Amino acid sequence: MANLDQNNWFTEISDRDGSAFSLRITKKLDEQQSPFQKVEMYETTDFGNLMIIDGCTMVSSRENFFYHEMISHPALLAHPNPKNVVIIGGGDCGTLREVLKHPSVESVTQIDIDEVVTQMSLKYFPELCESNQDPRATVMFDDGIKYMREAAPESIDVVIVDGTDPVGPGEGLFNHAFYTSCLTALRPGGILIQQSESPLMHMPLLVEMRDAMTEVGFVDLQTLPFPQPIYPSGLWSVTLARKSEAFAGFRENDANTLAQSTEYYNAGIHYGALATPNYMKRAFEKK
């Protein structure tokens, strides 16, 4: 639920979390109702442009790097040589931009169901779309669940699930059937990484996700928390699941090189995010 009051404060009220988050708005820039969801754009006083989907904050100019860097770089650098990458969702194209910073990557296919999100991003977040024309990139507007179900077995190195909350178009990205499709499509040692909500607000969902990933056959998991200022609680997470072998560190030298072109991610951040807080450990171990 969202509200724009008479003093131009946009407030996202999260009933499920008993919390709210506000940003001061200068003006409304755009609004489109797609076949799937309502997409709005605002100009804020301090966070640049702001994208709202179905009343929920999604992306702002000021802080999007936290999310885009953490949903891409940890998985790509935990893989020894990622060549073929698939992004499910990611319509704002910020994750695509980050993936294409990796020289080993030969192809990236992004599949988002809603073209309106990308149209809005091209207009209001051009910096996120600056790599869309990279010859290694393919941008598709289709059903990502169907795409993964039909993907050739053992054809992908890394799958990045950059979806919305598990409601509406994003609901089918959080279940056994989808994880099974990802597992089948990944090569041995391949990695699935998915945004996994707030480890403070949404622990039951996070535990359910991890259990489902293990139950379909992924052999090792890592959940990395990171700041996310415009999402509920300000603390978010990504969860990595590896096929056929355990995680064995990450390419630290490449992480340090990459840090020349990132705002948040570096080797130290990666190491720090791997240090799981005690309350999360207890939740993951409890059955």
Catalogue the active-site residues.
162
Q: Is residue 86 within 8 Å of residue 138, measured between CB atoms?
A: no
DSSP one-letter string for 167-201 = SGGGGGGSSHHHHHHHHHHEEEEEEEEEE---TTT
Triad 87, 101, 236: Cα angle to 5°: 55
Other beta carbons within 10 angstroms of residue 95's beta carbon come to: 27
Give Cβ neighbours of residue 120 (< 8 Å, ≥ 6 apart). 30, 32, 39, 41, 51, 92
DSSP annotation of 81: S
Which residue type, as a one-letter code, is found at position 287? K
